[in-house]
Amino acid sequence: MSEQSSEAQTPERTESLERVQAFLDVRGTGLRVFPLGGKGATVQEAAGALGIEPGQIAKTLALRAGDHRFILVTRGDSRLDNHKFRDRFAAKAHMLPAEEAEELTGQPVGGMGPFGHPGHVDVYCDESLRDYDVVFPAAGSPYYGVRVAPGQIAELTGATWVDVTRRLSTE
């Protein structure tokens, strides 16, 4: 019985999760993936599991602009601003279907983060991330995350900084 309890508390480590940790290790970051203490497939779930405000969750979106597929990392309480996006990418934003997002990143929707993809993925970081010294992106699993500075996300992934979101209304 106690074996089942410990399994429920710490979900299985997946291949995508191990790729994230390997990515961080190879670069000598000292960063460690950690269990969230619950499911974090949505911003609200992850923020609740970590006891932080939703804005500190580094939400990763798999998008298409024309023929260009990429990921955008933004603060958790923001949403795409269609005008800013079109101005920056000269195309309308389209969310990738779950299957295509997973094919691109090698990570499940709800656990998709900026690190450890099996192939090259263009990464963009939204300026909104800079509102925090530390953010928490998913680590290849809806049950794991990593604590990291926004600038370090951009540095490690070769991301381009963009301004394509707006804060969600708090009313």
Average pLDDT for 138-161: 96
In this predicted structure, the answer to whether residue 162 has a pLDDT above a threshold of 80 is yes
In this predicted structure, the answer to whether residue 8 has a pLDDT above a threshold of 70 is no
Predicted TM-score (pTM) of the model is 0.90
Query: Exposed, middle or buried by CB within 10 Å (0-12, 13-18, 19+), for 9?
Result: exposed
Average pLDDT for 113-134: 97
Strands 68-75 and 57-65 come out as antiparallel
Q: How confident is the model at residue 171 (pLDDT cuts 50, 70, 90)?
A: very low
Q: What residue segments make up the domains of the chain, in order of their start?
A: 2-166
Architecture of domain 2-166: Alpha-Beta Complex (3.90)
